[in-house]
Amino acid sequence: MWTIAGEGIHPTDSKSATSSIPIADIKPPAKVVIPLSQHIGAPCDPLVKIGDIVKKYQKVGEAKGVVSSPVHSSVSGKVLAIGRFPHPSGNQSNSIVIESDGKDEAIDSLKENSDYLNLDPKTLKDIILEAGIVGMGGAAFPTHVKLNPPKEKKITAVILNGAECEPFLTSDDRLMVEKSREVIEGMKILMHIMGVRDGYVGIEDDKPGAIEAITKSASGTNIRVTSLEKKYPQGAEKQLIKSVTGKEVPSGGLPMDVGIIVQNVGTAVAVYNAVRYGIPLVDRIVTVTGNGINRRGNFNIPVGTLLEHVVTECGGLVGEPGKIIFGGPMMGIAQYSMLVPILKGTSGILVIPKGDVVLEDFRACIRCGRCVQACPIRLLPNMYSILGEAGKPKEAEQYYVFDCIECGCCTYVCPSRRPIVQQIRYIKAEMRKAKSKVA
Ligand code: SF4
Ligand code: SF4
């Protein structure tokens, strides 16, 4: 069985509530809020003004800078406002508010091309850029940038990430079961762009339906399915590379340093839709789950739909929520408002009832070493925790803190309930601040 280095953890996966529920649409929202920043990199510049009439798929925000990605309207209707609105990151963000006319009238310029594998790589990359495609596993890194490594980095393989190791989430699982052909066609496009012969799809072995469907769709190609041990964080990019190819990304390095490009399975489908049908990224599959919501499932949701609309369409909350998280419980972000929109990178909405949230003060480190054992990068999380608490971020640099992928394994196993990931984030933020002052 292929697996990661470092012990990792085995949290209760809690996936059975939604893993067999087919993807469904929700009632279209009356209004969407499209943030101009839904990706890593520079926010977009708005291309519309208040009062403009827009069509579905119309570009409403232009990418600014090398690392950026345009945004498009997920409905047809009228621009109501442009300004700062709640964002799932916890801040306010410049956004475009569009009132839907309920017609979903699409732009006229959508073009279908069934001969897409004969397009040259540059044209394909331009289509991906124009379609606003970003990594859909949560990181939201612009896809066209990832597909443009420096010339000296020779890429030899593409890996599709279908591990979905975060507890509760099943959106990638359902996507692979229901849209395996699109996943593989998207993978063929990615391999054609990178000029590689070998492709892999890494899937945890608790998803037999996905493994079967993808294996069937990939038959007769150079794309191999790798069944991975169910273990968190099997789907972290560097861990996935190690599991699938045995190659280790060096400290401070990137996957391209070992000749690999990793993309999420959802990103592959978005690439296929853009190249084949000219459709930009305006919706995504989201797992709605947890004991705090009445109707759980996997839903295709337009980007910009507000959390309050999704909750209403899922039968409302069960009692008072303790936490609502975008993403999974390990790496997701707790939300502070029902008015935050679904983004291109929102893989799940997890609603935990108040009674299930344990609030307890953290205690002193007892040097038990469990966090060290669990860390998949083989770091010393206990040191980050102690130095973070003592307000000595600079001293953490010698312990390779920037190699931490913030997976949360250390926090999960700590018997003293120390907020290790939060302390790591504090250390990284302080060090970045210090470095920018020096520069
Ligand atoms: S959050 Fe960082 S330090 Fe903690 S286990 Fe994950 S990689 Fe290691
Ligand atoms: S798991 Fe917690 S208590 Fe144990 S060494 Fe790590 S930080 Fe200290």
Q: Is the CB of 368 under 6 A from ligand 2?
A: yes
The amino acid that residue 348 corresponds to is G
> So what's the pLDDT on residue 327?
96
Tokens of 419: 């907020």
- Ligand 2 centre to CA of 413 (Å) is 8
| Ligand 1 atom 3, closest CA | 381
Angle at 333 between CA 98 and CA 434, to 5 degrees: 105
Half-sphere exposure of 209 (CA within 13 A, CB side): 13
> So what's the pLDDT on residue 182?
98
3-state secondary structure of 240: helix
pTM for the full predicted model: 0.94
Residue 150 vs residues 65, 124, 259, 372: alpha-carbon distances, Å: 17, 18, 11, 35
> So what's the pLDDT on residue 435?
80
> So what's the pLDDT on residue 6?
60
First and final CA of the chain: distance in angstroms?
46
Tokens of 257: 């340093």
User: Rounded to whole angstroms, how far apart are CA atoms 66 and 394?
Assistant: 30
Q: Which of 420, 368, 411, 421 has its CA nearest to residue 11? A: 411
Residue 271 vs residues 130, 136, 171: alpha-carbon distances, Å: 11, 11, 17
Q: Is the CB of 314 under 6 A from ligand 2?
A: no
Q: Is the CB of 367 under 6 A from ligand 2?
A: yes
| Ligand 2 atom 2, closest CA | 414
Q: Is the CB of 38 under 6 A from ligand 2?
A: no
> So what's the pLDDT on residue 214?
98
pLDDT along the chain (439 residues), means of 10: 65 94 97 94 95 98 93 98 96 96 95 95 97 91 96 96 96 98 98 97 97 98 96 93 94 94 98 98 98 98 98 97 96 95 97 90 95 94 96 91 94 96 93 78
Q: Is the CB of 369 under 6 A from ligand 2?
A: yes
> So what's the pLDDT on residue 8?
81
The size of the chain, in residues, is 439
User: Rounded to whole angstroms, how far apart are CA atoms 43 and 414?
Assistant: 37
Domains in the chain: ranges and CATH: 116-277 (3.40.50.11540), 370-438 (no CATH)
- Ligand 2 centre to CA of 120 (Å) is 52
